[in-house]
Chain A
């Protein structure tokens, strides 16, 4: 199933397969994978990551507009499967349409995102854990930053915030 989702995202499935995978996608597990893959993709491309809080915002927005139906929005696209252009469209649609539906249906999207982040870290060995900013570098940098001159001690807050994250001795 995971491989199918991956191929679907890459636009490598034909119309028939597309219908079948869409049916499989109705399971929360498949939805999780779908979200994970997209978040991983976004991470690898360096795109902004969806914050876990946006899930609740999506849910609220969706609740306010009960007429938004993802399958209806997706179906016309079935005719265009297997083209590169569609793959791009799929990514966008996935995040906007399917993503919305998924976030509203699946119970624990923040976990899914957390898992995806983890996966992205492992995959790319690229993303440093949050709060791991080198405070010393930051202070050494601020010495020559114009924003320090303009704002005085204000930017120092960043350094203090960072230092505050260090483990206690």
Chain B
């Protein structure tokens, strides 16, 4: 985005009597910088709209999730009833799976294994509370653009791209419904320009009537002959942990720090969450239970995990960032 080609020293020398050329260059630079800021701001505003739409609208559609040449199709229904969100996600291919999210908890049904896994309320609306500093960070670490209109699942959408300026984050491309703001397609792109992961609706009805029956689980909340499994993690108790990651990619700031109790373990697990405004990285620290721990990277779609050891602790770093980023962060975790 450099339009002003004058080296600073020359610009300073000519400051007494600015030439037409330098004036033009300065104003061009200002215009370009302004345009970049404006599109970053626009893109951020669109995302905030998308986050709000996802929370407040009724919608039902078919969602296709792609990663590493793997495709999964699911049915997604979202209902807002008396201010409460209710959501149902049913896998359409492969083994049947069902996820029901209510204001109380998230329940995953695995009918072939006859298991219901119950997680505590696991959604917080982080994005709408994006701080001014995080918004600035987004503009600093991503080239944000609001692009042309495209049609997705029969709806006209607004395209937004966030191209990273370093190799420690993925590129993002979003397609938001032009009318409601609901995100209809999201894509993660690596530094080779290849798609790491993609969510897309192939059909979706927005703001149409959704019956309560459509978001009810296909089984009883806890079928009698099914096994009820509580998720291993308890709720987050915010407090200082004494741990920190010293080599975070630029723009990542701590958004949460605390402890979670882990089922079957005496000692709680420390969790620190860092975010650049668009994605987050979690750092988990726990006393090592196993004598030998395999360390290294594992990946699923856009999520990368790096595990390593620090003294008698297991460090797990996980986030929607490339392998190099989780590794760098994990290797920098230590006591404050």
A157–B318 CB distance below 8 A:
no
B100 to chain A, nearest CB (A): 10
1/0 per residue, CB under 8 A from A, across B64-79: the answer is 0100010010101010
Cα distance, A51 to B247, chains bound together (Å): 31
Q: Are A151 and B297 in contact (CB under 8 A)?
A: no
Contact present for B127 and A150 (CB under 8 Å):
yes
The B-contacting residues of A in range 136-163, CB under 8 angstroms, are 136-163
Across the interface, B280 reaches (CB within 8 A) one of A145, A158, A160, namely: A145
Which residues of chain B are within 8 angstroms of A153 by Cβ–Cβ distance?
76, 78, 87, 89, 99, 101
Q: Are B260 and A141 in contact (CB under 8 A)?
A: no
A154: which of B55, B199, B323 is its contact (CB, 8 Å)?
B199
Question: What B residues does A161 contact at CB under 8 A?
Answer: 65, 72, 300
Docked CA distance A121–B223 (Å): 42
Interface of B is mostly: strand
Decide yes or no: A46 and B282 within 8 Å by CB, A157-B74, A163-B117, A169-B227 being known contacts: no
Does A48 reach chain B (CB closer than 8 Å)? yes
Contact: B298 with A132, CB < 8 Å?
yes
Contacting pair B280 A156 (CB below 8 A)? no
- List chain A positions with a Cβ less than 8 A from chain B: 46, 48, 51, 53, 124-134, 136-164, 168-169
In angstroms, Cα B130 to Cα A146, docked, is 9
Tell which of A130, A149, A155, A163 touches B51, judged by Cβ atoms closer than 8 Å: A149
B186 and A144 form a contact (CB under 8 A): no
Partner of B233, one of A48, A130, A136, A155: A136
B126 contacts the other chain (CB 8 A): yes
A residues less than 8 Å from B232 (CB atoms): 136
List the interface of chain B (C-beta within 8 A of A): 47, 50-51, 54-55, 63, 65, 69, 72, 74, 76, 78, 87, 89, 91, 94-95, 97, 99, 101, 106, 108, 110, 112-113, 115, 117, 119, 122-128, 130, 174, 183, 186, 190, 192, 199, 227, 231-233, 236, 255-256, 260, 262, 271, 273, 275, 277-280, 282, 284, 294-301, 303, 305, 307, 316, 318-320, 323-324, 327
Q: With A127-B297, A153-B76, A154-B186 as given contacts, are A143 and B199 in contact (CB-CB < 8 Å)?
A: no
Give the 7 A-B CB pairs with smallest separation, nearest first.
A149-B127, A126-B296, A152-B54, A141-B282, A145-B280, A128-B298, A144-B273
Closest to A133 in B: B300
Tell me whether A148 and B316 are in contact in the complex, defined as CB-CB below 8 angstroms, given that A133-B298, A134-B305 are known contacts.
no
Q: Which residues of A contact B256 (CB under 8 A)?
A: 144
Contact partner of A146 (CB less than 8 A), chosen from B91, B277, B298, is: B277
Give Cα A159 to B91, complex, Å.
12
Residue from the list B296, B298, B320 in contact with A147, Cβ < 8 A? B320
Interface pair B260/A149, CB less than 8 Å apart: no
Instruction: Please state if A140 and B233 are interface contacts (CB–CB under 8 Å).
Output: yes
Residues of A within 8 A of B113 (CB): 168-169
Contacts of A158 in B (CB 8 A): 300-301, 303
Q: How far is the CA of A152 from the CA of B297 in the complex (A)?
A: 27
The complex places the Cα of A146 from the Cα of B307 at a distance, in Å, of 23
Q: How far is the CB of B280 from chain A (nearest CB, A)?
A: 4
Q: Could you tell me the distance between the alpha carbons of A154 and B199 in the complex, rounded to whole angstroms?
A: 7
